Amino acid sequence: MVKIPVGDAFTLEGESQPASASDWAVVCHPHPAFGGRMDIPLVVRLAESLHQAGWSTLRFNFRGIDGSEGAPTGGRAEHEDVAAAASWVRAQGATRVALVGYSFGALMAARALARGTPAVGLAAVGFPTTILGEEPERVAQLEQALDRRIPWLFLNGDQDQFCEVERVRAFVAGRAWTDLQVLAGRGHFFAGADEEEVCRRVARFVSAL
């Protein structure tokens, strides 16, 4: 277990798996209010898959969750936790940092990217457009993140009640550095063979960065 400082305010708990000295992936979990934690099966398996692909990994709990200090803000400030995690891996020697997020974690990773967090790519699993909504500032932040022009992978099921796939298609249209992959008949949650397929695709994307 590692401690990740968020400025001088508090620390987050995280779990790291070293492999490469220079290449690190930060894996961000789903919404804490709905059971999202760094130790849910898909988050753990994503980190394992990336580690097996030769990347060092860090997964962490957002503020106020389990051993992480601070108080949850419902997404208003959790992008700062992603930025802090990325800073922590750079302090370990990372020269290339990939962001990987599932649902809420993908949205917070995108906001961190919009605020200037350096990254070589972002893999967004089950990107929650329903949380994004139509609020202009939130949409503008996503557009800003996309226009950093680093490689993006959106990986969604076409039956995902939290991801409006057509909205994602509109976001990637005209952005050649983005890739939308849609899993037919799948929803927001992945288990068994679906979990392995998601991890395989994310590992392949990150390995190509």
Beta bridge partners of 24: 56, 97
Q: Would the pLDDT of 188 be above 90?
A: yes
- pLDDT score at 19: 96
Tokens standing for residue 68: 């992480």
Residues 104-148 pLDDT 10s:
999 999 999 999 999 999 999 999 999 988 889 999 999 999 999
User: Are 171 and 142 within 8 A, CB to CB?
Assistant: yes
For the chain, percent of residues with pLDDT exceeding 90: 98
Give the model confidence (pLDDT) of 45-87 as tens digits: 999 999 999 999 999 999 999 999 999 999 999 999 999 999 9
b vs e for 124-160, b when ≥16 Cβ sit within 10 Å of the residue's Cβ? bbbbbbebbeeeeebeebbeebbebebbbbbbbbeeb
Residue 171, pLDDT score: 97
Domain extent for 11: 2-207
CB 151 within 8 A of CB 158: no
Q: What percent of the chain has pLDDT over 70?
A: 100
Residue 93 sits in a domain whose CATH number is 3.40.50.1820
Q: Residue 90, class by beta-carbon neighbours within 10 Å (0-12 exposed, 13-18 middle, 19+ buried)?
A: middle
Q: Is the pLDDT of residue 34 over 90?
A: yes
Question: Total structural domains in the chain?
Answer: 1
Least confident of 20-29, 79-88, 129-138, 188-197: 129-138
- How far apart are the C-alpha atoms of 195 and 203, rounded to whole Å? 12
Measure the CA dihedral 32/151/170/164, to 10°.
Answer: -30
